[in-house]
């Protein structure tokens, strides 16, 4: 069985390079269904850092949700992600599952326009919709 997943993508360290690398990895290791355009956004939380590029992807995977979440963290690591003391600090790549099999699973969708805007754009462009599920 394949699962369909909406991923929020963000980077503010060499973002164009890391976006390109993330797309290359994900499209070769998963089925890339759709992607939004990238939008530039101001940082949230820790302000003393460059602006972010944010986008959203729709992918299909045979992995279950926990395994796919671990896979996304591994992709972040491959792209040089360093998890420092400031959770909202600069990063080469941030990949978060926003929706899983049509249900929202990340409350960041409701809290942050930098998540919601690209997600709504990729859903609209691909003819998909999501519903509020049990957000974790």
Catalytic residue among 51, 83, 96, 107: 96
Please, are residues 81 and 35 in contact by the beta-carbon 8 Å criterion? no
Quick one: angle between helices 65-78 and 15-29, nearest 10?
140
**Residue 94 annotated as catalytic:** yes
Residues listed for the chain: 136
Please, are residues 79 and 24 in contact by the beta-carbon 8 Å criterion? no
Catalytic residue among 65, 66, 83, 91: 91
Catalytic residue among 40, 51, 66, 81: 81
Catalytic residue among 40, 64, 66, 94: 94
Residues with catalytic function: 81, 91, 94, 96
């Amino acid at each position: 069985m394949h699962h369909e997943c909406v991923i929020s993508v963000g980077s503010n360290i060499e973002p164009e390079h890391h976006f390109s690398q993330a797309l290359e990895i994900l499209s070769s290791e998963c089925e890339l269904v759709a992607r939004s355009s990238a939008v530039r956004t101001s940082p949230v939380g820790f302000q003393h850092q460059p602006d972010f590029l944010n986008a959203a992807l729709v992918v299909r995977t045979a992995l279950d949700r926990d395994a796919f979440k671990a896979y996304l963290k591994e992709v972040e690591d491959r792209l040089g992600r360093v998890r420092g003391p400031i959770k909202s600090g600069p990063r080469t790549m941030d990949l978060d599952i926003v929706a899983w099999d049509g249900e929202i699973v990340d409350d960041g969708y409701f809290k942050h326009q930098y998540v919601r805007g690209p997600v709504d754009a990729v859903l609209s462009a691909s003819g998909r919709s999501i519903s509020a599920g049990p957000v974790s």
